[in-house]
Amino acid sequence: MGRRTLVAWKKVCNREFVAKVIFIVSASAAVLAVGLICVFLLVQGLPAMWDIGIVSFLTGTDWRPTWTPPLFGILPMILGSLYVTVGAVFFGVPVGIFAAVFMARFCPPYLYKVLKPAVNLLAGIPSVVYGYFGMVVLVPFVRGHIGGNGNSILTASILLGMMILPTIITISESAIRAVPEEIYEGAVALGASHERAVFFTVLPAAKSGVFAAVILGIGRAVGETMAVRMVAGNQAVLRMPHEILSGTRTLTANVVIELGYAADEHRQALIATGVVLFVFIMGINIAFSMLKKKDGL
Amino acid sequence: MKRRKPRDLVLFLLTWVCVGVTALVLLTVVGYILFNGVPYIRPSLFAWEYTAQNKSLMPALVGTLMIVGLALALAVPLGVFSAIYLVEYARRGSRFVKVVRLTTETLAGIPSIVYGLFGFIFFGVFLGWGLSLMSGSFTVSIMILPLIMRTTEESLKSVPDTYREGSFGLGAGRLRTVARIVLPAAIPGILAGIILATGRIVGETAAIIFTLGNVARMPNHLFDTGRTLSAHMYALANEGTHAGEAHATAAVLLLVVIILNAVSSKIARIIKAN
Amino acid sequence: MRRILTVLAAAVVLGAALAGCGGSDGGAITVFTREDGSGTRSAFVEIVGIVENGNDNIYREAVVTPGTSVMMTNVAENPLGIGYASTGVALGDGRVKVLPIDGVFPTAENMLNGTYAIQRPFIIAYGSQAGLTVLARDFVDFIFSAQGQAVVAGRNYVPFVPTGAPEYTAGGLSGTVVVNGSSSVYDLMGYLSAAYRELNPNVRIDIHGAGTGHGINAVRDGLADIAMSSRDLRDSELTFLTPMVIAIDGIAVIVHPDNGVTGLTLDAVRDVFLGEVKEWDGVR
């Protein structure tokens, strides 16, 4: 081997090494970000929670920030977030998954050319626009055809279900497409119909991707702020699960509605609300990753 | 059409119904916004300077472009590089990979209002950047990072291993294989991720108003405040009564998203053709 | 997997069925209120008497509408709704009906002579210690000039200095004034700054409408020159702020234009917003 080739080899090795380091550092960015978010939210939010009392903060049913003395109980908001998220999953996930299956396996090419950009567009519609639409179209619709005054858990659930559709469809579709063709062909070769092969072999094979889609969908529903606060009614009142035609306030709405006005203790209580939201998300993620491990995905 | 068993027929019809519902949702929202908004679009809406009379969205439009550009410049390299590491370099199931996966999922799930709070506390107050383009774009770049990572990962994974084996077989190193063989094949998928990310930034309000602020004027430098189109829409929908302008702004916002999507899919098609 | 599919399919069918079922209840009032911390809300509950031991006691089932415009749109869409908003906004918007209270309509005259009870001042305030910059002082002078007060009157607000305000002449200044606070005053401030900038093209006025409390904090922390408030300042705030009234604004009680009710007594308004009267039949 000549000297020249040796130098060239070294250069390649170096380049490989440098690239690898860059890739690892990039991969650490997400970890760093989560660390910073944890530290800074906790430092700001925990003292307030401590002052109010963690138990009375989390289980208090009265949110009266302007009273003397103020009451900071966020149980109504915790339940509110829970209800609208469950509602969004109820409306959005089944439709989303079936639509994704359609797009990946049933869709004629001419239709796909229209549908794919349509779903992308749905993803791009800003939540303020959804909120405005919800306020002037969905709220009167629910009031007129279903009941209640329209600003309700149900309305928020329908709107959120609409909003998480593109997330569910896009991620599920790419997961279904990533399933090797042999799995489908094998099922068909064994005599399964197209539907049977798709729904009972391909879709199960794409399970982890579809679960990821649902996680992202839940994330979007829990975190949605601007649209929910326009349609949910925003009453900080404790609701039971059957009161879906009554209004509710979510954790996110609580923060965004009052942060502009809040000072001192009130402001810290709102940051603490953000901390609770954050802890919820962590909880969901840990539960799902444990579920995944158990399923051996 | 061939005959189907009842269960197959139900499943088949359900897929059609669900895709129909999706299309209906899109048509209703887009139709409503455009129908009510386009008649209010006037030249004065695009005046270079915002006044209480014209409610110009120009400063917000420029602010949006700046935030999108800055945030993508930060997040796309980071996201693509980390996806490359996870898929092409890391040992499957190593502890580091698990931690990165968990944190990425966490990031993806964090509500935008929490990003807003964090961005305000960290970039705005702790680093002293205040309400500025810098605070805003750093905050949203963290927000879109998981989206870019995940879509890149999915599309890298969907590149058949035979491509890699062929490349290695011809004597290419790992970096060369990734840069020349795997990445080009994955580009449409990555672009799809960038579209989603751009859509998310354009549509973001909660994280923006607490980091970039919400002042109707052009940012003059990186540490200047401003607003994005969505924040502008938020302001119009809250303050006073400007129903006409709010409708028109929503329509313009939607048109921006439509144009963005069209351009991106065109790029994807060109790349695919080559 | 099969079970999951069945559940999914069932959910789709159930969802469709739920969206299709009908029925609605009769004349129950939908009460709309602004959010806690809103200057409009605290002025409204104080004047109408929805305060108990100094605590805001508005009906807990009232739908909270964040922002004046959200309030307007909701009342405009809901035939059984009732809400309240700045008269400057409500009178200029044909989508809702403004009700006379105790037979008195919120005109400028009725507010100045005090017969229309639900009114509050629009206030601007600056830090007592730091005072105003030369530029901010010039802008304030403009607001209290004949030209400034003409802008106030032109937008359905009641000028605080109706006659005899001095003429303003531009001094050719340049720079930036930062204003922050009430979203109710935001609109008026926008028109004032537009008129001011026609005379002073080199001055930039940044107006944030983050809410009364936010504006007051911003001035305290030196982040803004002028705070906007849509309520009287509290004693604790007066220790570091110097307030000035720039206009009087009524709070209009608003309903859907199709609502048959032609007026309410102040007591009826109180009962409705306390949640003690829940049906429209109860006030008609």
pLDDT at C19: 46
- The enclosing domain of C97 has a CATH number of 3.40.190.10
> CA of B152 to nearest chain A CA: how many angstroms apart?
11
Mean pLDDT of chain A: 87
Do B85 and A27 count as a contact with CB atoms less than 8 A apart?
yes
Could you tell me the two tokens for B89? 């370099």
CA distance A281 to chain B (A): 6
- pLDDT of res. B69: 93
The per-residue pLDDT for A254 is 93
Looking at the structure, tell me whether residues A42 and A77 fall in a common domain: no
Q: How many Cα atoms are found within 13 Å in the side-chain-facing hemisphere of B267?
A: 15
Close Cβ partners of B87 (under 8 Å, ≥ 6 residues apart): B153, B156, B157
What are the chain C neighbours of A234 within 8 Å (beta carbons)?
A: 35, 63-66
Prior bond of B184 cis (ω within 30°): no
Closest CA to C70 of C60, C59, C88, C84: C84
Q: DSSP state, B91?
A: P
C53 shares its domain with C141: no
CB atoms within 10 A of CB C27: 12
Residue C167, C-beta contacts closer than 8 angstroms, at least 6 positions apart: C145, C146, C147
Kindly state whether residues C135 and C238 are assigned to the same domain.
yes
Chain C 162-191, residues with CB within 8 Å of chain B CB atoms = 183, 186-187, 190-191
User: Domain total for chain C?
Assistant: 2
On whether the CB atoms of residues B45 and B245 are closer than 8 A, the answer is yes
Interchain contact, C12 vs B236, CB within 8 Å: no
DSSP of B240-267: S--HHHHHHHHHHHHHHHHHHHHHHHHH
Q: Do both C152 and C95 map to the same domain?
A: no
Interface test with B, best of C4, C14, C18, C69 (most B CBs within 10 A): C69
CA distance C25 to chain A (A): 7
Residues C164 and C222 in one domain: yes
Smallest CA–CA distance, residue A241 to chain B, in Å, is 23
Same domain for A26 and A76: no
How many other CB atoms are found less than 10 A from the CB of residue A101?
Answer: 27
Give the CATH number of the domain where residue C211 resides.
3.40.190
Nearest chain B residue to C189, by CA? B52
Query: Are both A21 and A126 inside the same structural domain?
Result: no
d(CA B19, CA A119): 10
Residue A53 gets the label, from left (phi > 0), alpha (psi -120 to 50) or beta, of left
Do C126 and C86 share a structural domain? no
Q: Nearest CA to A278 among A56, A55, A37?
A: A37
Best mutation target among A61, A137, A149 (most C Cβ atoms within 10 Å) is A149
Task: Report if residue A97 sits inside a domain.
Answer: yes
Cβ–Cβ gap B241/C207 under 8 Å:
no
Question: CA–CA separation, A97 vs B15, rounded Å?
Answer: 9
Q: Which residues of C touch A97 (CB under 8 A)?
A: 8
φ/ψ of residue C171, rounded to 5? -105, 5
H-helix or E-strand spanning residue B232: helix B229-238
Determine contact, residues C30/C80, Cβ cutoff 8 Å. Answer: yes
Please check whether residue C47 lies inside any domain of the structure.
yes
How many whole angstroms separate alpha carbon A264 and alpha carbon A254? Answer: 16
Burial status of residue C112 (CB atoms within 10 A of its CB: 0-12, 13-18, 19 or more): middle
Looking at A197-206, B69-78, C23-32, C109-118, which range is the least confident one?
C23-32
Element (H, E) at B15: helix B6-37
Residues C239 and C275 in one domain: no
Q: Is C93 a domain residue?
A: yes
Statement to judge: residues C194 and C114 lie in one domain? no
pTM listed for this prediction: 0.84
What is the residue type of B233? M
Same domain, yes or no: A42 and A105? no
Does residue A139 share a domain with residue A29? Answer: no
For chain C, which residues score pLDDT lower than 70? 1-26, 161-163, 284
CA geometry: angle A150, B234, B64, nearest 5 deg: 140
In a domain, A12, yes or no: yes
A296 contact partners, CB below 8 Å, separation of at least 6: none
Burial of A145 (0-12, 13-18, 19+ CB in 10 A): middle
Spatial contact of C250 and C106, defined as CB atoms under 8 Å apart: yes
In terms of CA atoms, which chain C residue is nearest residue A93?
A: C8
Mean pLDDT of A222-234: 90
pLDDT over 70, % of chain A: 92
**Chain mean pLDDT for chain B:** 85
Average pLDDT over residues B217-236: 85
Query: Chain A within 8 Å of C181 (Cβ-Cβ)?
Result: no
Domain identity same for C115 and C255: yes
Joined tokens for residue A283: 């909880």
Kindly state the helix (H) or strand (E) to which residue B211 belongs, with its residue range.
none
Among candidates B214, B225, B240 on the partner chain, residue whose Cβ is nearest the Cβ of C68: B240
Long-range contacts, stretch B124-128, CB < 8 angstroms, 24+ apart: B124/B210, B124/B211, B126/A40
Q: Which residues of B188-214 are buried (b: 16+ CB within 10 A; e: fewer)?
A: bbbbbbbbbbbbbbbbbbbbbbbbbbb
Count of domains in chain A?
2
User: Is A240 part of a structural domain of the chain?
Assistant: yes
For the stretch A23-44, pLDDT in tens is 889 989 999 999 999 999 998 8
pLDDT at C23: 36
pLDDT in tens, C135-176: 999 999 999 999 999 898 888 788 876 667 788 888 888 888
The C-alpha angle A242, A245, A251, rounded to 5 degrees, equals 85
Residues of B in contact with C193 (CB under 8 A): 52
Whether residue A105 sits in one domain with residue A30? no
Which region, left, alpha or beta, applies to residue B213 given φ > 0 means left and ψ of -120 to 50 means alpha?
left
Q: CA separation (Å) from B145 to A123, C44, C115?
A: 17, 45, 59
The label of the residue with tokens 């027929």 reads B9
C244/C265 same-domain check: no
B89 near A CB under 8 A:
yes
With beta carbons under 8 A apart, name residues in chain B contacting C190: 51-52
Q: What is the largest CA-CA distance in chain C?
A: 82
Please tell me whether residues C212 and C230 are part of one structural domain. yes
Whether residue C48 is contained in a domain is answered as: yes
Do residue A239 and residue A97 come from a single domain? yes
**Could you list the residue range(s) of the whole structural domain that residue A32 is in?**
3-52
- Residue C21 has a pLDDT of 41
Q: Are C101 and A270 contacting, i.e. CB atoms less than 8 angstroms apart?
A: no
**Domain presence at residue C132:** yes
Backbone φ/ψ region at C37: left (φ over 0), alpha (ψ -120 to 50), beta = left
* CA-wise closest residue to C90 among C267, C254, C248: C254
The answer to which of A115-124, A250-259, B135-144 has the lowest mean pLDDT is: A115-124
Domains present along chain B, CATH in parentheses:
41-273 (1.10.3720.10)
Following CA atoms C248, C250, C251, C253 in sequence, which dihedral angle do they give, to the nearest 10 degrees?
-170
Whether A286 is covered by a domain: the verdict is yes
Q: Which residue has the tokens 């299956």?
A: A101
Q: Is pLDDT above 60 for B97?
A: yes
Q: What is the ipTM of this complex?
A: 0.83
Cα(C173)–Cα(A9) distance, integer angstroms: 68
Does A107 lie in the same domain as A41?
A: no
Helix (H, G, I), strand (E, B) or coil at A72: strand
| Residue of A208, A226, A290, A291 to mutate when probing chain B, most B C-beta within 10 A | A226
Write out the residue range of the structural domain in which residue C187 sits: 120-250
Give percent of chain A above pLDDT 90: 39
What is the CATH number for A79? 1.10.3720.10
Residue C126 included in any domain = yes
| Stretch 128-167 of chain A: residues touching chain C, C-beta under 8 Å | 135-136, 139-140, 143-151, 158
Q: Please give the pLDDT value at position B92.
A: 76
Give 3-state DSSP helix, strand, coil % of chain B, rounded to 5: 75, 0, 25
Mean pLDDT of A171-178: 89
Q: Compute the distance between CA of residue C96 and CA of residue A248 in angstroms, rounded to an integer.
A: 25
Q: What is the mean pLDDT of residues A158-170?
A: 93
Mark whether C115 and C126 lie in a shared domain. no
Q: What is the DSSP letter of B46?
A: G
How far is the C-alpha of B176 from the C-alpha of B155, rounded, in Å?
Answer: 18
**Structure-token pair, residue B7:** 């269960």
Q: Are residues C241 and C255 in the same domain?
A: no
Cβ count within 10 A of residue A52: 21
Distance (Å) of CA A59 to CA A55, A73, C273 = 6, 6, 27
**HEC profile for chain C?**
CHHHHHHHHHHHHHHHHHHHCCCCCCCECEEEECCCCCHHHHHHHHHHCCEECCEECCCCCCEECCCHHHHHHHHHHCCCEEEEEEHHHHCCCCCCEEECECCECCCHHHHHCCCCCCEEEEEEEEECCCCCCHHHHHHHHHHCCHHHHHHHHHCCCEECCCCCCCCCCCCCCCEEEEEEECHHHHHHHHHHHHHHHHHCCCEEEEEECCCHHHHHHHHHCCCCCEEEECCCCCHHHHCCEEEEEEEEEEEEEEECCCCCCCCECHHHHHHHHHCCCCEHHHCC
CA dist C193 and C136 (Å) reads: 11
User: Can you tell me the distance from the alpha carbon of A71 to that of A67, in angstroms, rounded to the nearest whole number?
Assistant: 7
Residue A63, helix vs strand vs coil? strand
CA–CA dist C280, C257 (Å, integer):
15
* pLDDT in the model for residue A297: 47
The mean pLDDT of A94-113, rounded to a whole number, is 92
Share of chain B above pLDDT 70, in %: 95
The whole-number pLDDT of residue C13 equals 54
The mean pLDDT value for A244-261 works out to 89
Q: Are C124 and C39 in contact (CB under 8 A)?
A: no
Alpha helices in chain A (DSSP H): 3-52, 54-59, 75-101, 109-124, 127-133, 139-145, 153-177, 181-189, 194-197, 203-205, 207-223, 228-231, 251-258, 264-295
- Region label for C102, one of left (φ > 0), alpha (ψ between -120 and 50) or beta (otherwise): left
